Amino acid sequence: MYLIVGLGNPGKKYGNTFHNSGFSAIDEAADLFDAAFSKKRCKAVIAECSVGGEKVILAKPQTYMNLSGESVRELLSYYKIPLSNLAVIYDDYDLPIGALRIRPRGSAGTHNGMRNIIKEIGSPDFTRIRIGIKPETEIMPIVDYVLSERSRAVKEAMAPAMENAAKAAYGFASGDSADKLGCAYNINK
């Protein structure tokens, strides 16, 4: 069984923000999985599906970004999923807009949601699908920027990364390693 989590903030006012890039990408992944977010469990909205006979849980925590780890910990426990079968899709201010990096493990970097996940599950050893959101020039404090809305031009610049993140999620659920997925789907900017 696999758990793929897209990070974001619940509520309409956050829908088009940079910080909801994980939600946007997992929505695209749900289309590839032919799955719908129709259940609530463990402080998340989830979609259940399968790939090659293997059950897959797609999740969007509803705890707000900085407490995402509570939902992830509960989902891992409820479904008895090992960390090796966890992938998290999220926005990353340490990467330029439109970049995509897939890694088998790592630190939280500047991301408070990832920091909380690592704290709650007690390990940094899970797959990350990182979507770059950093502008070419800093225009405002990071906390304000990540909660600002993406323009149409920025969404277009990010579209290939979103598409590749969704494809990587599907590949992950098919059993592909993070290294293999990185070779196939990373986008360097």
Task: Show which residues are catalytic.
Answer: 19
> Cα–Cα distance between 152 and 168 in angstroms, integer?
24
Residue 52 has a CB neighbour count (10 Å cut-off) of 8
Sign of CA dihedral 96, 97, 99, 102: positive
Q: Name the residue type at position 18.
A: F
Q: At what angle do helices 152-173 and 178-185 cross, to 10 degrees?
A: 140
